[in-house]
Amino acid sequence: MGSFFAELARQASANARREVEAYAREIAEFGFLDTNSRARAETLEYSLWLRRRTVELSPDNGELTDADLDYIAAIGESRAAAGMSLDARQRVLRLHTSLMLREINEATDAQHGVGVGVGVGELMRMMHWFAPQGERGIRAYSQGFVTALRHRLPYVEQAALLARSLLKGDPISADLAAALGMELPERCAVAVIRVPDRPVGDRDLESEIETLVKTHRAPITWWPDKGSRSGELIAIIPIPPATPPTSSTAELAQPHSAPDPVSDLVRDFAQALGRPCAAGTATSSLSDVADALDLARRISRAAPLRRASARLRPHTLSDVFVELAVVEAPFVDGWLHAVARSLQPGPDLVVTLDAYYRHDMHRGATAAALNVHPRTLDYRLRRTRELTGIDPSSTRGVRILSSAVTRRLSETWH
């Protein structure tokens, strides 16, 4: 064994103790190591074993054995069974990798300090071993972790974990999907359903989400707004292969209408919820779902609130691009707000204009949708013109009043 590997072996015990101390100090979920001597001894034993196996295998590029991988998987399983979160698991893996690389550098420096040169060959053998075997170890750890989650968590909570891991780009998502029997698609649509007032009974909401997960077989999670009863339902829905995106992030050239699976899920949730909500969606490759989430969330906040009876549909970028731009220009938004306020004295003018523009300004269809006589509709349109000085049937009227109405119905003005 070369001097470099001998130095790693000599420092293995001290390095293992330092790792355990780092876990207890930097990861809140490992705080129990300061009070649970048995757990601390077991964690130290595992850390020391990893370092000794590294020194044993890396000089000759030996692979971790099936028994080694089973042991690593058992550690992952025991930590998940004890309640470790996915975030803590990620921090553990990052911290362990960082400490191992630091130890390699320290062993190199120590040999130089005593006048012993570390050969390039030794370092190359170590790094050649470290990357692929480290990946195999992480894979085994994650599989063990997911095994415990499958036994500990209900199906709907596993689906929520999968959604969150996909949005964070966590590699464990592949194992979670396999455990749930879900395939990870190359392309997907991220749907965000904004709910300003969720049901009083949280169990009712959980039941509806569970039904959605089982019916649509998609990763779905509920993100509550802190300090309020509002929140968002977020779903990652597979879509059929299509033309590759022109951007590496969420596509700017969004489709004019949402894919059918997205519309079906939004409709099912809205009908079960029975409360006004607004939905936005954006498509992307699976690797860019975080960007798609940001866009879908913005769209949902610009979209009007509707009940399922009003044929709630998921809005795309093409539906609310004007409103999204207006939000970024407060002086324009304030002006539109004033226009919307000027409609208040009229009889149901906001609702009337909303129906008018949704039916492409067709008098008959609009009157039927409102369940009023066409002459009543004509009166309301005239009243709009009187109050605002804007003809709702003109190009100028469409541009101004449609945006003012959509902003008003989104209920995001304060």
Domains assigned to the chain: 3-152 (1.10.490), 185-322 (3.30.70), 329-410 (1.10.10.2840)
User: What CA dihedral angle connects 176, 180, 182 and 187, to 10 degrees?
Assistant: -40
* pLDDT of the residue at 256: 62
Question: CA-CA distance, 179 to 29, in Å (whole number)?
Answer: 25
Q: How far is CA 142 from the centre of its chain?
A: 19
Tracing tokens 């909500």 back to the chain, one arrives at: 277
Report phi then psi at 241, rounded to 5. -55, 140
Question: Cα dihedral sign for 260, 261, 262, 266?
Answer: positive
Question: CA-CA distance, 296 to 190, in Å (whole number)?
Answer: 7
Residue 401: C-alpha distances to residues 153, 351, 384 (Å):
49, 12, 10
* pLDDT of the residue at 254: 54
With contact defined as beta carbons under 8 Å apart, do 258 and 281 qualify?
yes
* pLDDT of the residue at 259: 74
* pLDDT of the residue at 158: 93
- In this structure, what token pair is assigned to residue 362? 């067709």
Q: How far is CA 108 from the centre of its chain?
A: 41
With contact defined as beta carbons under 8 Å apart, do 376 and 348 qualify?
no
Report phi then psi at 170, rounded to 5. -80, 125
Q: What is the DSSP letter of 183?
A: P
Long-range CB contacts (within 8 A, 24+) of 34-38: none
Nearest to 281 by CA among 323, 239, 246, 245: 239
Strand partners, 195: 231
Q: What is the block-wise mean pLDDT of the chain (414 residues), using blocks of 10 residues?
A: 82 96 94 91 96 94 96 95 92 94 86 55 85 94 94 92 93 92 90 84 76 91 84 91 51 62 90 89 93 96 83 88 94 96 91 95 95 96 96 96 96 88
3-state secondary structure of 177: helix
- Give the contacts of 32 (CB within 8 A, at least 6 positions apart): 39
